[in-house]
């Protein structure tokens, strides 16, 4: 854990290297002892979730995946059980664009790594089509309390499109539980404002071409999540492929290069941002509507911006 001094006198910061990124917590207007205790508990929480939800290193999620692949049922953790329930709902609501059961396809494309860009050749059509044919879906999972079983051994859970949303929600709960009123969690550009206290936070949405697309002034608990062609991509023979796959084809998407979703629920914001990238130029508006997304900014491969702002989730 790295703790830095705040830019302003009243801001205190902590940083943790988890989920393949840096998670930064900023607390304002709180005394040092309270803040130190909140940082300690939040750090422990994030480390635990990092291990528990890791998509390819040993931990609870990998134990679950091994059991499902072998056709066995297994007792999992409350966090994973909640992510399964939320994932089932969001797969349905996104018309299949968001599907955390496609971990085998993510792995096949080489995205279970921390080394980017990937320079391995892409998988063969035969390998990819075998996964399309196997149709792994969250619907295949049956949850009885904490016990999970799968009707389909091709299901491999990868919550990378949802875990940060879960983690920032839990981090904010921990911080607020220490009596801190003004705090923000920034998970590598995906932000949850826990509370604004006396003044607003400024949250920037980056421009995929560099710089800032727009800056939001946020005065209440709100999540701002962005998905897209960031540094996580593969490059082979001059062609780039994204780390976001269309579950229907098990292949990388290319129509939408970045989607930002603003919503009170960080799990929805996280999954919906991924889903809008998958849904593509023709379908992102209808998928956003079905997911109940009231605010989004979408950047197409042609550089064109699309927006939804129905006024329901204002920042104040």
Task: Report the alpha-carbon distance of residue 191 to residue 224 in Å, rounded.
Answer: 5
Minimal distance, residue 22 CB to ligand AMP, in Å: 15
Which DSSP string corresponds to 78-123?
HHHHHHHHHHHHHHHHTTTSS-TTBHHHHHHTT-SSSSSSB-SPPP
Q: How far apart are the first and last CA of the chain?
A: 32
Angle at which helices 78-93 and 266-291 pack, to 10 degrees? 20
Based on CB atoms, which residue is closest to ligand AMP, 244 or 287?
244
C-alpha distance from residue 300 to each of 13, 44, 234 (Å): 35, 38, 19
Site for Mg ion in 218-237 (CB under 5 A): 227
Picked from Mg ion, ligand AMP, none, the partner binding residue 60 (CB below 5 to 8 A depending on kind) is none
Asked if residue 68 has a cis previous peptide bond (ω within 30° of 0), the answer is no
**Can residue 160 be called a binding residue for Mg ion (CB under 5 A)?**
no
| Interacting residues with ligand AMP (CB under 6 A) | 98-100, 102, 106, 111, 158, 160-161, 227, 232, 243-245, 247, 270, 273-274, 278
Instruction: Give yes or no for a contact between 241 and 234, defined as CB atoms under 8 angstroms apart.
Output: yes
Q: Quote the least distance from Cβ 291 to ligand AMP, whole Å.
A: 13
91 binds Mg ion per the rule CB under 5 A: no
Pick what 278 binds: Mg ion, ligand AMP, none; C-beta below 5 to 8 Å, kind-dependent.
ligand AMP
Q: How far is the CB of 107 from Mg ion (least distance, A)?
A: 18
Range in contact with Mg ion (rule: CB under 5 A) among 86-94, 106-114, 171-179, 266-274: 266-274
Q: How far is the CB of 219 from ligand AMP (least distance, A)?
A: 25
Q: Which does 163 bind (CB under 5 to 8 A by kind): ligand AMP, Mg ion, none?
A: none
CA distance 19 to 57: 12
Q: For residue 163, what are the CA distances in angstroms to 8, 46, 60, 260, 277?
A: 30, 11, 14, 16, 17
The interface region with Mg ion, picked from 8-16, 121-129, 157-165, 247-255 by CB under 5 A, is 157-165
The 8-class DSSP code of residue 293 comes to: -
In this complex, which beta carbon is closest to ligand AMP, that of residue 221 or of residue 247?
247
Which of the choices ligand AMP, Mg ion, none does residue 43 contact, using the CB cut-off of 5 to 8 A by kind?
Answer: none
Binding interface with Mg ion (CB under 5 A)? 161, 227, 270, 273-274
């Amino acid at each position: 854990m790295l703790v830095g001094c705040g830019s302003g006198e009243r801001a205190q910061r902590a940083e943790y290297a988890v989920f393949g990124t840096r998670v930064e917590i900023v607390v304002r207007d709180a005394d040092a002892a309270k803040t130190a205790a909140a940082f300690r508990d939040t750090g422990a929480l994030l480390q635990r979730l990092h291990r528990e939800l890791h998509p390819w290193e040993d931990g609870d999620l990998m134990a679950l995946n091994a059991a499902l692949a072998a056709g066995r049922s297994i007792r999992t953790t409350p966090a994973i059980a909640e992510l399964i329930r939320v994932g089932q709902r969001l797969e349905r609501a996104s018309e299949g664009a968001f599907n955390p059961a496609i971990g085998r396809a993510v792995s096949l494309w080489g995205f279970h790594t921390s080394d980017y860009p990937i320079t391995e050749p892409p998988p063969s059509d035969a390998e990819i089509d075998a996964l399309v044919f196997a149709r792994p879906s969250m619907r295949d999972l049956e949850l009885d309390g904490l016990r999970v079983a799968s009707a389909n051994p091709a299901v491999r859970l990868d919550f990378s499109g949802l875990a940060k949303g879960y983690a920032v929600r839990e981090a904010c709960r921990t911080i607020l539980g220490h009596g801190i009123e003004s705090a923000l969690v920034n998970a590598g550009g995906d932000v949850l404002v826990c509370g604004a206290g006396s003044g607003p936070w400024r949250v920037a949405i980056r421009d995929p071409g560099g710089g800032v697309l727009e800056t939001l002034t946020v005065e209440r608990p709100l999540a701002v999540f962005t998905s897209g062609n960031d540094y996580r991509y593969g490059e082979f023979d001059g062609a780039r492929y994204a780390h976001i796959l269309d579950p229907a084809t098990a292949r990388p998407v290319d129509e939408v290069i970045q989607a930002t979703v603003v919503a009170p629920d960080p799990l929805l914001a996280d999954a919906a941002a991924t889903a809008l990238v998958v849904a593509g130029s023709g379908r992102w508006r209808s998928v956003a509507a079905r997911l109940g997304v009231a605010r989004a900014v979408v950047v197409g491969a042609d550089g064109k911006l699309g927006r939804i702002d129905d006024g329901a989730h204002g920042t104040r």
